Amino acid sequence: MDIPVHAIWLAQDDPKKNTAVRASKDDLLRLHKDFRRLPKKGIILEPLCGKVLGPEDREIFDTHGALVGLDCSWAQIEDSVEHVMRRTRLQPRMLPLLLAANPVNWGKPGKLSTVEALAASLYLLGRVDQCRELLSKFRWGERFLELNKEPLEAYAEAKSSAELVSLQFEFFDIEVEQDE
């Protein structure tokens, strides 16, 4: 069964280049400008929350939860996250590191477009066909899967969020911030 996919559009980017706007025109996701129309149950992808989308989150979608992307400019991410999270009860989750394949942020770790983030989430949740369908309308969609093939497969096989987080070190050279 497909997961309902939505995006909150804050209109901070050029709508002609915006992946969520384009995917909504192809009926691959439902675009929202009004917070009151968002699903009441599900997960919102929010890259600053610190909690990674993991296997433990699957039950939310087994009980008809929705997947919601936050569509905003990376240049305004902090203010946008604060603005949106005050207005929703959706559970915030971020993704493990992946490389962007979109033309704006090509090859940058973590700088995914809304569609890339939603597609990666679907892949991690075992909805690979739905992931591919979402990416199919973009010239770079298949390239995103090729570029991230190994990490996506490993992340999808993880048995816990903790395991998923530690897997990032096998694919990406990242610094660990330690509390003092």
Give CA–CA dist 113/101, Å, rounded: 9
The CA-based angle 45-49-55, given to 5 degrees, is: 60
Listed in sequence order, the residues at least 6 apart from 151 whose beta carbon sits closer than 8 Å to its beta carbon are 96, 97, 98, 167, 168, 171, 172
**Can you say whether the dihedral through the CA atoms of 96, 45, 84, 28 is positive or negative?**
positive
Q: What is the pLDDT of residue 174?
A: 61
Listed in sequence order, the residues at least 6 apart from 127 whose beta carbon sits closer than 8 Å to its beta carbon are 2, 3
Give CA–CA dist 97/94, Å, rounded: 9
Structure tokens at 47: 């890259």
| Percent of the chain as helix, strand, coil, to the nearest 5 | 40, 15, 45
Q: What is the pLDDT of residue 33?
A: 87
> What length does the chain have?
180
Single-letter amino acid, residue 139: R
Establish how many alpha carbons lie within 13 A of residue 105's alpha carbon, considering only the half-sphere containing its beta carbon: 19
Q: What is the pLDDT of residue 175?
A: 55
Single-letter amino acid, residue 59: E
CB-based burial of residue 1 (10 Å sphere; 0-12 exposed, 13-18 middle, 19+ buried)?
Answer: exposed
Q: What is the pLDDT of residue 176?
A: 45
Q: What is the pLDDT of residue 178?
A: 43
3-state secondary structure (DSSP) of residue 179: coil
Residues of the chain with pLDDT under 50: 176-180
Structure tokens at 82: 């604060």
Q: What are the structural domain ranges in the chain? A: 5-171
Give CA–CA dist 150/152, Å, rounded: 6
